[in-house]
Structure 1
Amino acid sequence: MPTKSVDGYEIEYTGELLEGTKQWGAYVSIFAPSANPMHMTHIYPKRRVSADLTLMDQHAAEAEAERVALKVVEDLRA
């Protein structure tokens, strides 16, 4: 699962093959820093970025998940 760190937020994003199809879904999970430096706070549990969006391969799904995750983090910082 690819991860990215942006302004202290830990982003996990992935593409997963959708059950019973040959198409992929994009999934995101986001963690924020906590008062305890040994732990992160899970502020955005893993979820599919859009129930209506299917993609043709894992790479495309991961790229879409990363795009959405960066938008979510931007909104959180605002």
Structure 2
Amino acid sequence: MPSETLGQYEIEYSGVLLPDSEHWAAYLTVFAPSPNPMHRNNIFPNQRVSVEHVFATQDEAQQEAHKVGTEMINQCNSSKS
């Protein structure tokens, strides 16, 4: 599962093949900083995002999940300012 660190947050994003389908869904998990380096603080558990869309390829679904995760982190950071 691809992941990326954005500031203090880490996102994991993926494309998941839908059951009985040839289409893909976008899934996202967001982790916040934790004082324990062996533990990640899961603030947005792995779940489907952009539920109104299905994607033709896994890559398209991953790109959408990455976009949603980036937007969530940017909104969080801008509200702290």
Which TM-score tier does this pair reach, normalised by the shorter chain?
over 0.9
Matches within 5 A, 1:58-69: 58-69=58-69
What is the distance in 2 between the residues matched to 1:57 and 1:37?
Answer: 35
Cα offset for 1:35? 2.2
Residue aligning to 1:37 = 37
1:34 aligned counterpart, secondary structure: coil
Q: Distance in 2 between matches of 1:70 and 1:50?
A: 13
TM-score (norm 2): 0.89
TM-score (norm 1): 0.93
How many Å separate the matches in 1 of 2:41 and 2:49? 20
- 2:76 is paired with a residue whose SS is helix
Corresponding residue of 2:3: 3
Question: Could you report, residue by residue, the CA deviation over 1:5-29 in whole angstroms, capped at 9, with x for unpaired residues?
Answer: 0102111000010011100000000
| AA aligned opposite 2:15 | G
Q: Runs ≥4 in structure 1, deviation > 3 angstroms?
A: none
Structure 2 unmatched ranges of 5 or more: none
